[in-house]
Amino acid sequence: MGFWKKYFKKNKSPYLNNIKNIKIVQDIVGYTFRNPSLLILALTHRSFNRTQDNNHPSNERLEYLGDSVLGLVIADRLYHDYPEFREGRLTQLKAMLVNETTLAEIGKQVELNKYILLSPEEEKLGGRDRNSIISDAFESIIGAVYLDGGFRSASDIILRLIYTQKESIITDDSQKNYKGELLELTQARGEGLPHYEVDSEFGPDHAKEFHISVYIANRKIGTGFGYSKKEAEQKAAAIALEELSKED
């Protein structure tokens, strides 16, 4: 417990302010860290570094690592569980299980979002409930577990928290791939590939809002906005589908 005593003397957070709360996070994940500093790093959003009383790095590097581990574990399990599925169907299922919406919803279910370290400004902006922040923290924890306990430990967490919910995830309407549907429609109509362009970006780096338009044959069809480019593109594609259905 020596690490935590030193940590809490230097850092104050309304959510990670005692050893009990640290144990809660480890219980949520189902893993006890050998190197507990990795858990703190995994929970540290980049906005937290802007507070004056700390100099922590953020979880962005761990997110990159966790994303890769997550993709491999899910791809491997789908490959072995569905030998009859072709590559396209496997890719579709994998996308549903590892995307931002899925990770954020599971993060909220287990209340992981309560323990993410945010700046006061990000807290006021509603960052604790923002899908992109929660999913990034989820992936960062996977990366941290991988570094701390190896591939098997990370795989166990992914299968228990995500893959066990596979059936409900893939039948969830919010998992609709509007970009994929739009691509299929434009190809069927002989109009080529949809093209997405960022119209504008607003806000600080840790809380950007993106406005993105989708073009088909050089014609703007829909515009969407979101707190990540993926979210904005999906919304733009959904609007484009509505517009094209009206034309038909």
pLDDT at residue 173, rounded to an integer: 63
pTM metric for this prediction: 0.70
Q: Same topology for domains 13-172 and 195-247, yes or no? A: no
What are the helix (H) ranges across the chain?
2-10, 19-29, 37-42, 60-81, 87-98, 100-109, 120-124, 131-149, 151-161, 166-170, 178-188, 229-247
pLDDT at residue 51, rounded to an integer: 54
67 is known as an active-site residue:
yes
pLDDT band per the 50, 70, 90 thresholds, residue 70: very high
pLDDT at residue 54, rounded to an integer: 55
User: For 211-221, how does the pLDDT look when each residue is reduced to its tens digit (9 = 90+)?
Assistant: 999 999 889 99
pLDDT band per the 50, 70, 90 thresholds, residue 73: very high
Burial group, residue 230, by CB count within 10 angstroms (0-12, 13-18, 19+): middle
Is the C-alpha dihedral spanning 231, 112, 149, 58 positive or negative?
positive
User: For 189-213, how does the pLDDT look when each residue is reduced to its tens digit (9 = 90+)?
Assistant: 888 889 999 999 988 776 788 999 9
pLDDT at residue 10, rounded to an integer: 55
Catalytic residue among 63, 67, 105, 148: 67
Catalytic residue among 63, 100, 105, 139: 139
User: For 126-167, how does the pLDDT look when each residue is reduced to its tens digit (9 = 90+)?
Assistant: 999 999 999 999 999 999 999 999 999 999 999 999 999 998
Per DSSP, 18 falls in state S
- Domain made up of 195-247: CATH architecture: 2-Layer Sandwich (3.30)
Residues contacting residue 79 through CB under 8 Å, at least 6 positions apart: 90
pLDDT at residue 190, rounded to an integer: 87
pLDDT at residue 160, rounded to an integer: 97
139 is known as an active-site residue:
yes
Pick among 1.10.3430.10, 1.10.1520.10, 3.30.56.10, 3.30.1660.40: CATH of 13-172: 1.10.1520.10
Instruction: Please check the confidence at residue 18 and state whether its pLDDT lies above 80.
Output: no
Domain segments of the chain: what residues?
13-172, 195-247
Q: State the Cα angle at 176 between 178 and 154, rounded to 5°.
A: 115
Using DSSP, state whether 15 is helix, strand or coil: coil
User: For 83-121, how does the pLDDT look when each residue is reduced to its tens digit (9 = 90+)?
Assistant: 998 887 788 788 889 988 899 999 999 999 999 988 888
pLDDT at residue 15, rounded to an integer: 45
Q: Which two tokens stand for residue 28?
A: 């949520």
User: For 230-239, how does the pLDDT look when each residue is reduced to its tens digit (9 = 90+)?
Assistant: 889 988 998 9
Using DSSP, state whether 130 is helix, strand or coil: coil
What's the full length of the chain, in residues?
A: 248
pLDDT at residue 11, rounded to an integer: 53
